[in-house]
Amino acid sequence: MFEARLLNSAIFKKVLDAIKDLLNEGSFDCSDSGIQLQAMDNSHVSLVSLNLKSDGFDKYRCDRNLILGMNLASLAKVFKSSGEGDTVTIKAQDDADTVSFMFEAKKQDKISDYEMKLMNLDQEHLGIPDTEFSCIIKMPSAEYARIIRDLSQFGESIVISCTKEGVKFSASGDIGTGNVKLAQTINFDKEEDSVVIDMQEPVTLTFACQYLNSFAKATPLSNQVTLSMCDNVPLVVEYEIPDLGYLRYYLAPKIEEDEN
Amino acid sequence: MFEARLLNSAIFKKVLDAIKDLLNEGSFDCSDSGIQLQAMDNSHVSLVSLNLKSDGFDKYRCDRNLILGMNLASLAKVFKSSGEGDTVTIKAQDDADTVSFMFEAKKQDKISDYEMKLMNLDQEHLGIPDTEFSCIIKMPSAEYARIIRDLSQFGESIVISCTKEGVKFSASGDIGTGNVKLAQTINFDKEEDSVVIDMQEPVTLTFACQYLNSFAKATPLSNQVTLSMCDNVPLVVEYEIPDLGYLRYYLAPKIEEDEN
DNA sequence: TTATCCCGGA
DNA sequence: TCCGGGATAA
C-alpha cells in the first residue's frame, strides 16, 4: 500500500494551485523515493515537473511503485476543503482504483476524509536532459511574478536577457515598450530578497507571457525562484518547496522572428 | 401605533441577510410580545421562523397587533444604508400603509429616515409542532457553514448522521466522496468552539445542500448553531440572536432513494 | 470580528 | 469589465 502523511496540508494546496491551470489531469508517480509528476501542459507547450521526496513527509510508505492518475480540479476541491493547519494523510491500496485523503484538524476533534476515483491516464514518458546552463538567475519569486505581470500588459512575449550587468526583462507591443532591469543584489539581512546571477555566457531568449504568468502561480510555494537559461534549450523556472522538493516548469524559447 | 427601537441596527442587517435569499417578501407580525415572521421560502420547501422578543428592544411599544408586509430586498437596501453603530427606530401607525425607519448615527449628528410602502401579503398560517428530537447538536456556526460549503462541492445532498460517537456529514457525487466527522468537544476556555451533542437515539437524515447553505447565511448572527434532528421530522437549524430572540430554519429530510 | 485584497464568475 | 465571495491580515 501507499501512505504519505504531511503535517501541513497547505503545501499541497499551493502545489495544486500552481499546476491546475496548466494541467487538467496528472499522474502522480509514487515510489519509495517520493512522488513525481511530469507532464506537458494542456496545450502541449510547456512542461511541469514536480518532485516531492519521501524524506520530506512526516510519514511515508510505498510498498510498490504505483501511479495515481487524478483530475486536478477535483483534487484541488478536496484540498480546498482542508483547514489551515490540517494534517493530511494520502492513502491508496496497491491495486485500488481510488485514493483517499484524510484531514485532521489540529485544534479540534474534526476528521474529514475524501475518496476520489483514480483515472487511467496515458503515460507519456518525458526525458528531461540534464543541461548546463549559460545563466542561472535566482531572485525573489514575488518580484518575478510582478515583473511578468506588468510586462504582460505590453505584449505577448517577454525577452529575458542576461549579461554580467544583470538581467533584463522586456516586452513591447502597441502600447509601447517596457524594460525591467535587475542587477545582482546580495542582501545579507534578508537573504530572500537577493538577486543572484550566475553567468557563464550572456544569453537573450524570448518566451510567451502566458506561460511565464502561469508559472508564477507557484509564487506562494517559495520566496525565491530560479531561472535557468541557455540558447536553444528550454527555460527552467524552479520553485523550491522547503524540505520537500521542487516544482519546475520548462518552456522552449520562441524562435526569433526576423520581421524585416 | 407601533414603535421599536434598537441601539444596534447591525443585528437587523444580519437578520435580513440571513433570510432575503429565501424569502422575497415577509409579513412581520407585531404584537405586545415582540415581532414574529414565519414563512415558507420562495420554493415552498423550507420554512423560516424569526422571533424577536419585545424585551430585547431598547424601546418597544405596540398598541395593537399589526402585520407589516414588506419586500425583503427593499428592506435590506434600507438597512444596508445604515451605518455601523446606528440606532434604528421602526414606526408604523395602526392603520397606515407605510412603515418608517429612522437611523441615528452614534457619533455624529446625522439622521436618516426611510419610508417604505407596506404590502398586502397572504397570510399563510403555519403550525409548527413542538417535537421531541432524537439528536440535538450544538456547534460553532462558522464550522457548520464551512462543512456544508465544502461538502456541497461533492454532491447535491448531504447526509447528517449523529451517533454517540459524534456527528458525521457526508456527500458524494462524480468527483468522489467526502465525510467530515466531529466528535463532542467541550472547550472551557472558548465556549463558542465547543461541539455538544445531546443524543437520545442515533439518527441519519439526508438534506438538500442548497438549503443548508442558505441557512448558513445566518452565521454572522451567532457563534453557535443548533441542529435538531429526528426521523421523519424536519431538521431545525437555529441561530440564537443574543438578547433578542432566534432565527430558525426548518427543512424536511429527503426521502431515501432506494436506487436498487 | 472587521476591513482589505485577490480571485473567480457573470 | 464589473460585481460578489472567499481568504487573509490587522
Average per-residue pLDDT in chain B? 91
Answer yes or no: same fold for A2-117 and A135-259.
yes
C1'-nearest nucleotide to the CA of B217: D5
Q: Determine the pLDDT at residue B258.
A: 52
Beta bridge partners of B229: B135
Is A71–B175 a contact, with Cβ atoms under 8 angstroms apart?
Answer: yes
Residue among A108, A118, A119 with most chain B CBs within 10 A, to mutate: A108
Is B184–A113 a contact, with Cβ atoms under 8 angstroms apart?
Answer: no
Average pLDDT value for residue range B33-62: 95
B257 pLDDT tier (thresholds 50, 70, 90): low
What is the layout of strands, in order, in the sheet containing B2-6? B59-62, B2-6, B87-92, B98-104, B111-117
Residue B143 CB lies within 7 Å of the nucleic strand C: no
Backbone phi, psi, residue A160, to 5°:
-110, 125
Contact partners, residue A158, CB within 8 Å, separation at least 6? A148, A151, A152, A169, A170, A171, A206, A207, A209, A212
Nucleotide C2 C1' to residue A33 CA (A): 46
Is B177–A114 a contact, with Cβ atoms under 8 angstroms apart?
Answer: yes
Chain segment B175-194, per-residue pLDDT in tens: 899 999 999 988 887 888 89
Average pLDDT value for residue range A102-124: 88
Nucleotide C5 C1' to residue A163 CA (A): 36
C1'-nearest nucleotide to the CA of B149: D6
For chain A, domain boundaries:
2-117, 135-259
Residue A84 CB lies within 7 Å of the nucleic strand D: yes
Q: Determine the pLDDT at residue B51.
A: 96
Nucleotide D5 C1' to residue B147 CA (A): 17
Provide, as residue numbers in chain B, all residues whose Cβ is less than 8 Å from the Cβ of A102. Answer: none
Q: Chain B closest CA to A2's CA: distance in Å?
A: 19
The number of beta carbons lying within 10 Å of the beta carbon of residue B44 is 9
Question: A38 with A85: CB under 8 angstroms?
Answer: no
Higher-confidence residue of A153 and B135: namely B135
Q: Determine the pLDDT at residue A34.
A: 97
Which percentage of chain B shows pLDDT scores above 70? 97
Residue B166 CB lies within 7 Å of the nucleic strand C: no
Q: Determine the pLDDT at residue B208.
A: 93
pLDDT at position B47 over 70: yes
Report how many helices (DSSP H) and strands (DSSP E) chain B contains, helices first: 4, 18
Chain segment A221-231, per-residue pLDDT in tens: 998 999 999 99
DSSP state, B231?
T
Average pLDDT value for residue range A65-93: 91
Chain segment A160-213, per-residue pLDDT in tens: 999 988 999 999 888 889 999 999 998 887 788 889 999 999 999 999 998 999
Chain segment A20-53, per-residue pLDDT in tens: 989 999 999 999 999 999 999 988 999 999 999 9
Average pLDDT value for residue range A138-154: 89
Question: B11 with B244: CB under 8 angstroms?
Answer: yes
Q: Determine the pLDDT at residue B70.
A: 93
Is A116–B185 a contact, with Cβ atoms under 8 angstroms apart?
Answer: no
pLDDT at position A107 over 80: no
pLDDT at position A55 over 80: yes
Q: What is the dihedral of CA A154, A158, A162, A168, to 10 degrees?
A: 10
Average pLDDT value for residue range A144-152: 88
Q: List the single residue in B176, B179, B185 with the smallest CB-CB distance to A108.
A: B185
d(CA A32, CA A111): 27
The nucleotides of chain D lying under 7 Å from a protein CB are 6-8
B260 pLDDT tier (thresholds 50, 70, 90): very low
d(CA A91, CA B91): 62
C1'-nearest nucleotide to the CA of A83: D7
Nucleotide D6 C1' to residue B63 CA (A): 45
Cα distances (angstroms) measured from residue A100 to each of A4, A5, A8, A110:
11, 12, 17, 16
Average pLDDT value for residue range A66-88: 90
Radius of gyration of chain B (CA): 20
CATH code of the domain made up of B2-117: 3.70.10.10
**Which residues on chain B place their C-beta less than 8 Å from a C-beta of chain A?**
143, 146, 150-151, 153-154, 166, 175-185, 193, 195
Closest CA to B148 of B47, B43, B249: B249
d(CA A97, CA B135): 36
Provide, as residue numbers in chain A, all residues whose Cβ is less than 8 Å from the Cβ of B195. Answer: 109
Return the nearest residue to C2, CA–C1'.
Answer: B84
Q: Determine the pLDDT at residue A260.
A: 44
- Structural domain B135-259, CATH architecture: Box (3.70)
Is B153–A81 a contact, with Cβ atoms under 8 angstroms apart?
Answer: yes
Question: B94 with B73: CB under 8 angstroms?
Answer: no
| Closest residue on chain A to B169 (Cα) | A112
pLDDT at position A258 over 60: no
Beta bridge partners of A111: A104, B181
Is B184–A109 a contact, with Cβ atoms under 8 angstroms apart?
Answer: yes
Is A109–B153 a contact, with Cβ atoms under 8 angstroms apart?
Answer: no
A101 pLDDT tier (thresholds 50, 70, 90): very high
Q: Determine the pLDDT at residue A84.
A: 79
Chain segment B92-140, per-residue pLDDT in tens: 998 889 999 999 887 767 888 899 999 988 877 788 888 899 999 999 9
Nucleotide C9 C1' to residue B216 CA (A): 21
Q: Determine the pLDDT at residue B40.
A: 93
Is B178–A111 a contact, with Cβ atoms under 8 angstroms apart?
Answer: no
Q: Which of A134-138, B80-84, B224-228 has the lowest mean pLDDT?
A: B80-84
Q: Which of A89-93, A101-105, A186-190, A199-203 has the lowest mean pLDDT?
A: A186-190
Residues found in chain A: 260
Provide, as residue numbers in chain B, all residues whose Cβ is less than 8 Å from the Cβ of A74. Answer: 175-176
Residue B80 CB lies within 7 Å of the nucleic strand D: no
Provide, as residue numbers in chain B, all residues whose Cβ is less than 8 Å from the Cβ of A77. Answer: 153-154, 175
